[in-house]
Amino acid sequence: MAKTISNATLRLWIYQGQFGSRTADPTYTLYKERISTENSIVFEVSELIRDYTTVTFTGDFSTINQTAWAEWEITRTFSDSKTDVVRNAALCFNGYGYFEDGINPELSKGLLQSNTIIYHKKGDPFYIPVYTGEGGAFSVKYYEGASLTKTTTLGYKVKKLTVDAEWTVDDCKDCDPSGGKYTADMESINVADSQETIDTLYYDGVPSSVTITDIEGNTTTCTVYETEECKFTPYRVTFMNKFGVAQNVYFFKRRDESINVTKDSYEANTITSSDATTATTDTSVKGATVSYSLNAPTKKFFNVKGKKKLKLNTGFVDESFNEVIQQILLTEQAWIQEGGEVYPIIPVTQSLQYKTRVNDRLIDFQVEFEYAYDEINEIR
């Protein structure tokens, strides 16, 4: 008779920083017994890990930490009372897939955003998110027109494999990935920092195109349109996209602001009385004068709260921005840069009409946001 699993104990470590720097005690310990009608035991841990991937963004991409390590040990007990232990680890993103993508989709190991057409404000620093962990981006090349202006080499130590011979482990930072196939050196990967597995690359200026090459030699090219807005003030919105990383989008056109105020009220007693002379023979009051002030309100307010909203317009964009706007509406975290400050906002637009050049010719989008805090500061 074939043995079946009876129960399983999961020991799960979740942490950020250097891989392997976990604590002695696991973050969670879970125990499950097999249901009689099932042949396996499944642990759902995504919601546990999400608590450790909340992003704090100050506008500085060099300090943002968007991932966490998860290590686990599963002790399985079988019907014959024998046990075994399964160990593994993974880098975790707070991203998501669509229903059509199937269960646990692998979203990307190169460019960490859906759109390859980018509209960028003239004069602002240019950032683009890429994955630099195992199997990720190897190099990023920036072009201005047809001229290659900068090459950034990423990742860890790599080994180049050729048809003729296998290289020894080499730090191929100056190699051209078009000349062969690359694989990651796992010794270097295993001491990686979770913060360093995503690199939001900075370019001083605005390139016209960016080409990302992964370790396998596959390339992705982004076209960048440098935009100078003469009438309106452009605003940069940073949001957590479906890949679980921060992405910039500029809204170049009209901005409208409003405030919504809520409050509670009550009816106050405004009657006042003058000093009275109390009789000595009983408790009656002599000479008391009762009145009220015409300046004192009988209706008073409390628990006053204000929420500011703003509507932003993209200006004319490519049809691929249907996906970008959809991800903005689905995001759990977003920020807007205003002057030198970065403020948290929440998209409150709840529906999106997909647009096409065939139906709409010129495509633009309007999104309404709400500041993620009360206008009256109640933090004490």
Distance, CA of 220 to CA of 113 (rounded, Å)? 11
Answer yes or no: do 178 and 241 share one domain: yes
Q: Is the pLDDT of residue 59 over 50?
A: yes
* pLDDT on residue 276: 55
Q: Calculate mean pLDDT across residues 63-70.
A: 89
Dist. CA 79–CA 100, nearest whole Å? 37
- Is residue 221 helix, strand or coil? strand
| pLDDT tens per residue across span 249-283 | 999 999 999 999 999 999 999 898 876 555 445 54
Task: Select, from the ranges 149-158, 190-199, 214-223, the one with the highest average predicted confidence (pLDDT).
Answer: 214-223
Distance, in Å, from the CA atom of 226 to the CA atom of 207, rounded to the nearest integer, reads: 8
Residue 121: closest CA among 37, 52, 206, 178: 206
> What's the mean pLDDT in 323-341?
95
pLDDT of amino acid 62: 83
Domain co-membership, 172 together with 315: yes
Is 343 in the same domain as 226?
Answer: yes
* Distance between CA atoms of residues 305 and 262, nearest Å: 5
Residue 294: inside a domain: no
Residue 279 lies in a domain: no
pLDDT digits (tens, 9 = 90+) for 146-174: 899 998 887 543 444 443 344 343 444 44
Q: Determine, yes or no, domain membership for 188.
A: yes
Identify the domain containing residue 89 by its residue range. 5-94
* Residue 179: exposure state from Cβ atoms within 10 A (0-12, 13-18, ≥19): exposed
Query: What are the residues facing 67 on neighbouring strands?
Result: 93
Same domain for 311 and 163: yes
Together in a domain, 365 and 241: yes
Instruction: Determine the pLDDT at residue 177.
Output: 47
Q: Output the CA angle 75-80-81, nearest 5 degrees.
A: 45
Whether 130 and 204 share a structural domain: yes
Pair 32, 181 in one domain: no
What is the pTM for the complete model shown?
Answer: 0.82
Q: Tell me the backbone φ, ψ of residue 20, rounded to 5 degrees.
A: 95, -5
Please report which confidence band the pLDDT of residue 238 belongs to, taking 50, 70 and 90 as the band edges: very high
Count: domains in the chain:
2
pLDDT (tens digit, 9 = 90+) per residue, 26-40? 999 999 999 988 989
- Please indicate, yes or no, if residue 289 is contained in any of the structural domains: no
Q: Which strands sit side by side in the sheet containing 366-371, from one edge to the other?
A: 246-251, 235-240, 334-338, 341-347, 366-371, 299-313, 255-267
Same domain, residue pair 312 and 352: yes
- Residue 241: pLDDT band with limits 50, 70, 90: very high
Which of residues 62, 94, 126 is at a domain's end?
94
**355 domain residue, yes or no:** yes
Q: How many CB atoms lie within 10 A of CB 242?
A: 23
Residue that finishes a domain, picked among 60, 94, 128 = 94
Residues 30 and 166 both lie in one domain: no
Say whether both 12 and 129 belong to one domain.
no
Higher pLDDT, 379 or 281: 379
How high is the mean pLDDT of the chain? 85
Q: 219-227 and 117-121 as β-strands: parallel, antiparallel, unpaired? A: parallel
Residue type, 110: G
Domain assignment of residue 172, yes or no: yes
Q: State the Cα–Cα distance between residues 40 and 29, nearest whole angstrom.
A: 18
Phi, psi of 164 (to 5 degrees): -80, -40
Do 40 and 185 belong to one domain? Answer: no
SS3 call for 358:
helix
The residue whose two tokens read 């170049």 is 252
Cβ neighbours around 325 below 10 Å, total = 21
Domain final position from 42, 62, 94:
94
The encoded tokens of residue 296 equal 């004192």
Q: What average pLDDT does range 13-36 have in this prediction?
A: 93
Cα–Cα distance for residue pair 312/286, rounded to 1 Å: 68
User: Is it the case that residue 330 has pLDDT exceeding 80?
Assistant: yes
C-alpha angle 328-370-249 in degrees, rounded to nearest 5: 35
Instruction: Tell me: do 72 and 157 sit in the same domain.
Output: no
Lowest-confidence pick of 117-131, 191-205, 267-281, 295-309: 191-205
Query: Looking at the domain assignment, is residue 100 inside a domain?
Result: no
Task: Dump pLDDT digits (tens) for 271-318.
Answer: 988 765 554 455 445 567 889 889 999 999 999 999 999 999 999 999
269 located within any domain: no
